[in-house]
């Protein structure tokens, strides 16, 4: 009887328990696009009971009681907790966790989990890249988005080169631009165009389709970049392109179009204002009133026309971008294919950029041990440019100086000649330069890689890859017959071809000892060789502007050259992790380079970094409710800079016809067998922490970079037969701090609000230079104790209120104002920069608002020096039109103004008030810009599924919408000097006829099939 009673009781308990349990099912999808999420963990809180979602995002789980809480978690998504209650169906949408989107981070020669990283690395994914409107280059997607990375887009020219620095400028004469690695290939990123140095340089990054990019990693400290050794001193940007995924093939078609206009136009005088201004100048000089009326016209004539050259050279530009891709495969073979067409007009006549490209990435599992991958990318770009800034024949320069009383076209429709009218400074009709001068470059680029990975034993993998980077460039330039620059016409046809191959072989081994000690080991050997050929033919004396082939020129010359370089390297890395608490990274690379002297051809580049995850310590437990993660980092190491060109260490001979027309050889370069790479030693101290289950995360770093043995052309006595010799002299320091913060601020129902911000402060100092005080141009100087790109100007002290004359500081006290009175007045390189972004979503709507800022730098606005010349003459003619600010000139004793009285004193006259290169034209470069606003709408699944589509997104976007600045030029984010590495390092902060960035508006659609 007792046994029967006991059995009955047990059955009753089981029955009651079964009745109490609740079966819950549902589907987990992505909040962003509604796609199902397979592999989501669904766990009953406080237990180990759980399940995972299937390929359709579906799940079923038994909850013990209605009070049970289900925890939904997935990598890269915000964890959700939902109480069961009386629900039997619980559908969940997971929101991306902006603190974990880069859970797996691409590093040099591998990947690491974010939590294990001990170096300073920032990441940008394709979601952010997609938020940037169609552009010629992906560097626009990084601008203002990443701490420590400063990108200055110096011109509105489509496809023009940008200035990119990671944690400061580190060199005088070698490149300070980072190394770019695309799918493992170090990108040859130099400008090899043979066209005029005063044409905006080509941007090699524009050869790459931004829509192909999956992630971008920015390696900033020595520990992260040391794996690239002699090419890592300026930081490394690793670009990883999209790859195939197993599953149904997904097709995507995207199209957008945009219109662009100039953001800001400095206002110039009307004809009436200009004549009155010139008359005032003549009257101040004692020539009486209305002196210029008979020459320039009557300012009171109601029919007096004003001709504004800006109206003729600037336009509303249109751009089109079409992109299609296919992604899919199975467990054996996966593929990604894409095609792109991009066409962008410049906002200035004569400028255009066009690119067509295709990509095929394949991954194949040949067996359980052998995997094979390949990448193939081909692009062709056509780049039409015009003579730009810092050139007397520049389009904008001549538009600024154009005589407002002179038409740009004659009555018969032909171009007018400025010398038939009254202004002197305009040397050529700017519309004529833009339309008739030819500067066209066509580039064909191919990247290809094939690699195999073989698992020797469990977790021990050998990988070997072969890659090629083939670049072919054709330049064509023509200056028409009858032009002011070349009356008989001149032309050039040049070709540049470069082929680079790379072989990399690596062993990686992952293992764990006693469940506590995790190791990741890397060893490798790499070889790279590059060979380039250059040839050009040029001619003068053409007979017809319609026939521009060089063979038709009366006088022809030509040249050709061949150059090459090679690297041989050994790499190694050890990552050690003890109980997810204590982290160590040791990295080493030894490089041999043909670029350096035989005495210093091998360089060794070690680094070490440490990490301590305090959040995994027992003593941190009381803070666990606040801090989800807390990690301290420290790193130290040495990396190099080898970007100085080829054969700089060797004696060079040129072979030409300089011996009375006969062939011969002459010495053209004095070699230095001891020359070696620049060395950058960097200390980095950082911390990473996240709060409230990852809703807020912050990364902060302090760094000190010391670059020694700077590569520089040292002046030597002329008795040697040479002007200079390359040597390792000098030191530059960069130190500063940076931080970035990400936050999921709010989620209520279908509404979310997330934000991120970053800020960087850098102090640059030239510590040692062989020729202290060396003037690099009229406006820049190298000075110990000062930042690089130091402007060197006479200090303007205002206008004498009694005489109206400009007053300058007699810096050397000799009683004479001349170039000897120049002094350091500030650097053209920003000391701080950053950006902040807010993203709002509601159901299918998404709004992204991004601001960028920069400051602490100075700009010498040399354009004002040209169009605020206060009435001066050249050859008896007015110099050119004037800025509207010039009307605030001194008129009578007692006037307080910064604009001197007008005068007809010419440039060679010591009384000329405007001719001084002075701080009168020095301005602050600080700005804040509403960089990007994007509003998008994803159609509901209920609609698009009827059309058998996976997603449809429609969006409108604006870029460079508002700029807050006191700068008087087109744009504060400009620089005239971009045509060489040395100019990018030492001469930033000058603006002479540079057309700033455009304001653009775009509309687009993305369709997933």
Q: Is the pLDDT of residue 730 over 50?
A: yes
Q: How far does CA 581 lie from the centroid of its chain? A: 36
Beta carbons within 10 angstroms of residue 194's beta carbon = 21
Mean pLDDT of 126-144: 76
The string of DSSP letters for 821-852 reads GEEEEEESS-SEEEEEEEEEEETTEEEEEEEE
Q: What is the pLDDT of residues 165-182, one digit of tens each?
A: 999 999 888 888 999 999
* Predicted local distance difference test score (pLDDT) of residue 911: 58
Task: Please report which helix (H) or strand (E) contains residue 379, including its range.
Answer: strand 370-384
SS3 content of the chain, % helix, strand, coil (to 5): 15, 50, 35
**d(Cα 368, Cα 609) in Å, to the nearest integer?**
35
Q: Which two tokens stand for residue 497?
A: 């071809």
pLDDT bin (cut points 50, 70, 90) of residue 292 is: very high
* Predicted local distance difference test score (pLDDT) of residue 29: 87
Q: What is the pLDDT of residues 600-630, one digit of tens each?
A: 888 899 999 999 999 989 998 888 888 989 9
Residue among 250, 251, 257, 239 at smallest CA distance from 129? 239
Whether the CB-CB separation of 539 and 555 falls below 8 Å is answered with: yes
In angstroms, the first-to-last Cα distance of the chain is 70
Mean pLDDT of 758-764: 97
Q: What is the pLDDT of residues 916-925, one digit of tens each?
A: 689 999 999 9
* Predicted local distance difference test score (pLDDT) of residue 394: 87
Residue among 836, 844, 841, 1007 at smallest CA distance from 932? 836
pLDDT bin (cut points 50, 70, 90) of residue 995 is: confident
Overall size of the chain counted in residues: 1009
* Predicted local distance difference test score (pLDDT) of residue 134: 60
- Alpha helix (H) ranges present in 782-915? 862-867
User: Can you say whether residue 278 is alpha, beta or left, with left for phi > 0 and alpha for psi between -120 and 50 degrees?
Assistant: alpha
Q: Fill in the DSSP letter of residue 917.
A: -
Q: What is the pLDDT of residues 70-84, one digit of tens each?
A: 888 886 677 788 888
* Predicted local distance difference test score (pLDDT) of residue 908: 61
**d(Cα 220, Cα 607) in Å, to the nearest integer?**
13
Helices (H) and strands (E) in the chain, counts: 12, 53
In this structure, what are the phi and psi dihedrals at residue 275, rounded to the nearest 5 degrees? Answer: -65, -45
Q: Are strands 790-794 and 780-782 parallel, antiparallel or unpaired?
A: antiparallel
In this structure, what are the phi and psi dihedrals at residue 920, rounded to the nearest 5 degrees? Answer: -60, -30
Which residues, other chains included, contact 7 with Cβ-Cβ below 8 Å and sequence gap of 6+?
none
3-class DSSP assignment, residue 428: coil
Which residues, other chains included, contact 18 with Cβ-Cβ below 8 Å and sequence gap of 6+?
none
Q: Is the pLDDT of residue 943 over 50?
A: yes
The answer to which of 107-116, 438-447, 754-763 has the lowest mean pLDDT is: 107-116
Task: Please report which helix (H) or strand (E) contains residue 990, including its range.
Answer: strand 990-991
Beta carbons within 10 angstroms of residue 68's beta carbon = 21
Residue 310 to residues 91, 403, 437, 475, 744, Cα–Cα distance (Å): 59, 12, 18, 28, 46
Higher pLDDT, 319 or 694: 319
pLDDT bin (cut points 50, 70, 90) of residue 10 is: very low
Q: Which two tokens stand for residue 738?
A: 């940076």
**d(Cα 639, Cα 844) in Å, to the nearest integer?**
47
**d(Cα 693, Cα 691) in Å, to the nearest integer?**
6
Q: What is the pLDDT of residues 855-889, one digit of tens each?
A: 999 999 988 887 888 878 776 778 889 999 999 99
Whether the CB-CB separation of 136 and 344 falls below 8 Å is answered with: yes
Task: Please report which helix (H) or strand (E) contains residue 400, including its range.
Answer: helix 395-400
Q: Which of 644-648, 813-817, 913-917 tops mean pLDDT?
A: 813-817
pLDDT bin (cut points 50, 70, 90) of residue 319 is: very high
Q: Which two tokens stand for residue 326?
A: 């296919």
Q: Residue 111 burial (CB < 10 Å; 0-12/13-18/19+)?
A: exposed
Q: Which two tokens stand for residue 304?
A: 């007096």
User: Can you say whether residue 813 is alpha, beta or left, with left for phi > 0 and alpha for psi between -120 and 50 degrees?
Assistant: left
Residue among 568, 596, 571, 564 at smallest CA distance from 502? 568
Q: Which two tokens stand for residue 87?
A: 């629900």
Q: What is the pLDDT of residues 181-201, one digit of tens each?
A: 999 999 877 777 777 666 777
Q: Is the pLDDT of residue 326 over 60?
A: yes
**d(Cα 539, Cα 537) in Å, to the nearest integer?**
7
Beta carbons within 10 angstroms of residue 218's beta carbon = 23
Percent of the chain with pLDDT over 70: 94
Whether the CB-CB separation of 71 and 43 falls below 8 Å is answered with: yes
Q: Is the dihedral of CA 131, 135, 139, 144 positive or negative?
A: negative
Q: Is the pLDDT of residue 100 over 80?
A: no
Q: Is the pLDDT of residue 734 over 80?
A: yes
Q: Is the pLDDT of residue 963 over 90?
A: yes
The string of DSSP letters for 953-981 reads EEEEEEEEEEEEE---SS-SS--S--SSH
Q: Are strands 438-457 and 922-924 parallel, antiparallel or unpaired?
A: unpaired
**d(Cα 101, Cα 597) in Å, to the nearest integer?**
45
* Predicted local distance difference test score (pLDDT) of residue 4: 43
């Amino acid at each position: 009887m007792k046994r029967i009673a006991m059995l009955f009781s047990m059955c009753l308990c089981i029955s009651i328990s079964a009745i109490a349990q609740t079966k819950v099912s549902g589907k987990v999808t992505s909040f962003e696009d509604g796609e199902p999420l397979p592999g989501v963990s669904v766990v009953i809180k406080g237990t180990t009971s759980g399940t995972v979602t299937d390929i359709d995002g579906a799940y079923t789980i038994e909850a013990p009681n209605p009070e049970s809480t289900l925890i939904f978690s997935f990598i890269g998504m915000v964890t959700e907790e939902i109480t069961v209650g009386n629900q039997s169906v619980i559908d969940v949408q997971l929101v991306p966790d902006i603190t974990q989107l880069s859970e797996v981070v691409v590093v040099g020669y591998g990947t690491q989990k974010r939590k294990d990283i001990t170096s300073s690395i920032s990441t940008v994914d394709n979601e952010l890249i997609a938020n940037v409107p169609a552009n010629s280059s992906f560097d626009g997607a990084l601008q203002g988005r990443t701490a420590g990375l400063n990108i200055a887009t110096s011109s509105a020219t489509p496809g023009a080169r940008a200035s990119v620095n990671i944690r400061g400028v580190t060199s005088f004469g070698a490149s300070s631009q980072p190394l770019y690695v695309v799918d493992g290939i170090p990108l040859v990123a130099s400008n090899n165009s043979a066209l005029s140095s005063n044409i905006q340089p080509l941007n090699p990054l524009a050869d790459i389709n931004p829509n192909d990019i999956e992630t971008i990693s920015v390696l900033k400290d020595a520990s992260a970049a040391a794996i690239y050794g002699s090419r890592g001193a300026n930081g490394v940007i690793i670009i990883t392109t999209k790859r195939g995924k197993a599953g149904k093939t997904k097709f995507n078609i995207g199209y957008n179009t945009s219109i662009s206009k100039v953001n800001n136009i400095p206002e110039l005088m009307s004809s009436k204002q200009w004549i009155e201004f010139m008359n005032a100048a003549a009257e101040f000089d004692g020539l009486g009133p209305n002196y210029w009326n008979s020459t320039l016209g009557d300012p009171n004539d109601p029919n007096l026309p004003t001709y504004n050259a800006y109206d003729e050279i600037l336009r509303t530009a249109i751009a089109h971008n079409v992109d299609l891709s296919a992604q899919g495969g199975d467990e054996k073979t996966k593929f990604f294919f894409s095609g792109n067409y991009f066409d962008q007009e410049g906002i200035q006549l004569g400028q255009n950029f066009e690119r067509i490209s295709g990509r095929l990435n394949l991954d194949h599992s040949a067996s359980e041990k052998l995997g094979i991958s390949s990448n193939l990318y081909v692009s062709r770009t056509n780049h039409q440019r015009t003579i730009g800034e810092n050139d007397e024949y520049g389009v904008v320069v001549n538009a600024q100086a154009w005589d407002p009383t002179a038409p740009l076209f004659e009555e018969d429709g032909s171009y007018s000649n400025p010398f038939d009218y009254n202004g002197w400074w305009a040397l050529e009709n700017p519309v004529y330069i833009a339309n008739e001068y030819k500067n066209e470059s066509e580039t064909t680029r191919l990247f290809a890689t094939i690699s195999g990975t073989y698992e020797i034993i469990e977790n021990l993998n050998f990988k070997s890859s072969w890659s090629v980077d083939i670049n072919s460039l054709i330049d064509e330039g023509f200056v028409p017959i009858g032009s002011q620059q070349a009356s008989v016409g001149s032309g050039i046809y040049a070709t540049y071809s470069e082929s680079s191959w790379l072989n990399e072989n690596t062993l990686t081994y992952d293992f764990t000892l006693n469940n506590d000690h995790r190791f990741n080991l890397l060893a490798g050997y790499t070889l790279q060789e590059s060979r380039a050929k250059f040839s050009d033919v040029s001619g003068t004396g053409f007979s017809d502007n319609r026939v521009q082939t060089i063979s038709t020129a009366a006088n022809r010359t030509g040249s050709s050259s061949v150059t090459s370089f090679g690297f041989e390297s050994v790499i190694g890395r050890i990552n050690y992790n003890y109980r997810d608490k204590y982290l160590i990274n040791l990295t080493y690379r030894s490089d041999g380079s043909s670029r350096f002297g035989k005495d210093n051809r091998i360089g060794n580049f070690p680094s070490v970094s440490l990490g301590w995850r305090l959040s995994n310590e027992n003593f941190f437990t009381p803070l666990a409710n606040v801090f989800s993660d807390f990690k301290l980092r420290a790193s130290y190491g040495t990396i190099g800079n080898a970007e100085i060109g080829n054969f700089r260490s060797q004696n060079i001979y040129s072979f030409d016809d300089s011996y009375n027309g006969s062939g011969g050889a002459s010495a053209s370069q004095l070699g230095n067998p001891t020359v070696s790479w620049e060395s950058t030693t960097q200390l980095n101290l950082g911390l990473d922490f996240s709060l409230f289950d990852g809703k807020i995360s912050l990364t902060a770093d302090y760094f000190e970079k010391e670059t020694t043995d700077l590569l520089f052309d040292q002046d030597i006595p002329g008795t040697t037969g040479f002007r200079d010799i390359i040597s390792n002299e000098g030191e530059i320091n960069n130190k500063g701090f940076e931080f970035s913060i990400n936050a999921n601020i709010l989620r209520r129902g279908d509404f979310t609000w997330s934000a991120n911000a970053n800020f960087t402060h850098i102090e640059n100092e030239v510590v040692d230079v062989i020729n202290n005080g060396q003037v690099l141009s009229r406006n820049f100087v190298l000075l110990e104790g000062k930042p690089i790109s130091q402007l060197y100007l006479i200090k303007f002290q205002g206008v004498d209120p009694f005489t109206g004359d400009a007053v300058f500081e007699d810096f050397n006290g000799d009683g004479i104002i001349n170039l000897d009175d120049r002094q350091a007045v500030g650097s053209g390189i920003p000391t701080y920069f950053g950006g902040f972004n807010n993203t709002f979503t509601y159901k299918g709507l998404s709004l992204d608002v991004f601001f960028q800022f920069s400051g602490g730098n100075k700009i010498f606005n040399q354009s004002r020096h040209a169009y605020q010349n206060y009435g001066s003459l050249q050859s008896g003619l007015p110099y050119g039109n004037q800025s509207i600010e010039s009307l605030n000139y001194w008129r009578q004793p007692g006037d307080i103004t910064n604009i001197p009285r007008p005068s007809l004193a010419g440039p060679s006259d010591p009384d000329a008030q405007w001719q001084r290169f002075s701080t009168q034209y020095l301005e602050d470069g600080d700005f804040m810009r509403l960089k990007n606003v994007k509003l998008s709408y994803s159609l509901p699944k209920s609609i698009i599924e009827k059309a058998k589509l996976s997603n449809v997104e429609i969006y409108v976007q604006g870029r460079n919408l508002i700029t807050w600045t006191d700068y008087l030029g087109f744009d504060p984010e400009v620089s005239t000097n971009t045509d060489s590495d040395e100019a990018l390092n030492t001469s930033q902060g000058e603006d002479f006829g540079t057309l700033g960035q455009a304001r653009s508006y775009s509309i687009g659609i993305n369709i997933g099939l």
